[in-house]
Amino acid sequence: MKPIPVDAANHEHFNQIKFGTKELITRHNKEYGEGIFYKDSKVGELLQIVDKKTGATVLVEIAGIQYFRNLDELFKSKLADESFDKTFETKEALSSEYEKNRPGYAALLEKDGVVVWRIRTVTSNLH
């Protein structure tokens, strides 16, 4: 099966994934195939992370997956704290963090939900 394509808007986070220091990533539950959404991905499948700044890619394996219906559920789980390596005191602070790299992204997360993947880096520096 082909790797699932995933964009990385934050270059620093991409590098953390590439070097294996970022083990948890969150994404809007978007459709990536006909009727197939990120929340439908499975442990063991591969994600191809693409750095939006450089076009570099890295393959990672899904080691765990959770789906949250909205930012409130994600905020209460505290998994976003681990993903961003910082503590969010309010849901609004978490929402602002998502808006930094992608204006309008928090609204998508509220509408369609949030997927949290625990990952393991497989290969890096692919083009």
Q: Residue 84 — pLDDT band, cuts 50, 70, 90?
A: confident
pLDDT at 124 over 70: no
Q: Residue 50 — pLDDT band, cuts 50, 70, 90?
A: very high
Q: What is the mean pLDDT of residues 64-82?
A: 94
Q: Read off the DSSP letter of residue 109.
A: H
Q: What is the mean pLDDT of residues 48-69?
A: 96
pLDDT at 44 over 50: yes
Q: Which amino acid, one-letter code, is at 84?
A: F
pLDDT (tens digit per residue) in 7-16: 998 999 999 9
Q: How many Å apart are CA 93 and CA 87, to the nearest integer?
A: 9
Q: Which has the closest alpha carbon to 26: 126, 120, 125, 119?
A: 119
